[in-house]
Amino acid sequence: MKTLALVLGGAACVFDDIRPEFVFADSIVAVKDIGITYPHVDHWVTYHPERLKRELAQRRQLGYSDPKFIWTYDRIRLKDDLGVPIKRIGRKGGSSGYMGMWVGLEVADKVVLCGIPMDPKMPHYRRPKKRGWPEAEMYRKVWLDNLPLLKDRVRSMSGWTKDLLGAPTADWLSN
């Protein structure tokens, strides 16, 4: 039986992207800020480990349990023991959402992206900026370069990544 990871990013559409049919996901992968505020997180992914001590404290203040693992880029070293096992992933580039997608592929057979549209006009759900996220366009090339590795295993609920990878269908989810 195929396993499914739900990868949650920071775009404002993240909560609209999460659908009831995803409740059976085997793993929840949170990318950066959503790891603070989403109640259940199995894997927390970040390129910014210097923020983890404070963000993990914020998560705990909300009464949420710790994630099973924290993932970061393999060359980044953490100075503090956070009380959560650290795993490393060698993939880089393509944004934190891209790294989250690869973590999803490490822990499951298939991945659904929520809140990772790679849309420069989409604001962040927690820290919106008037200008959106113009850097999104520069990260798209890495996604395109790796498309053959992604197309059968990854789907997206919104934006450019949905156009690139397609949306999850009932047939794709069940096979």
Q: How many domains, in total, are found in the chain?
A: 1
* Distance of alpha carbon 60 from alpha carbon 82, whole angstroms: 12
Q: Is pLDDT at 17 greater than 80 in this prediction?
A: yes
Q: Mind listing the pLDDT tens digit for each residue in 107-130?
A: 999 999 999 999 988 878 877 777
Whether the Cβ atoms of residue 40 and residue 133 lie closer than 8 Å to each other? no
End-to-end CA distance of the chain: 8
pLDDT band at 76 (very low <50, low <70, confident <90, very high): low
Q: What is the mean pLDDT of residues 149-159?
A: 96
CATH classification at residue 150 = 3.90.1480.10
pLDDT of residue 74: 65
Q: What is the pTM of this model?
A: 0.94
Sheet order of strands, 4-8 included: 86-89, 69-73, 43-45, 27-31, 4-8, 110-114, 154-156
In the predicted model, what is the mean pLDDT of the chain? 91
What range does the domain containing 165 cover?
A: 4-174
Q: What is the mean pLDDT of residues 40-55?
A: 91
pLDDT of residue 134: 79
pLDDT of residue 88: 87
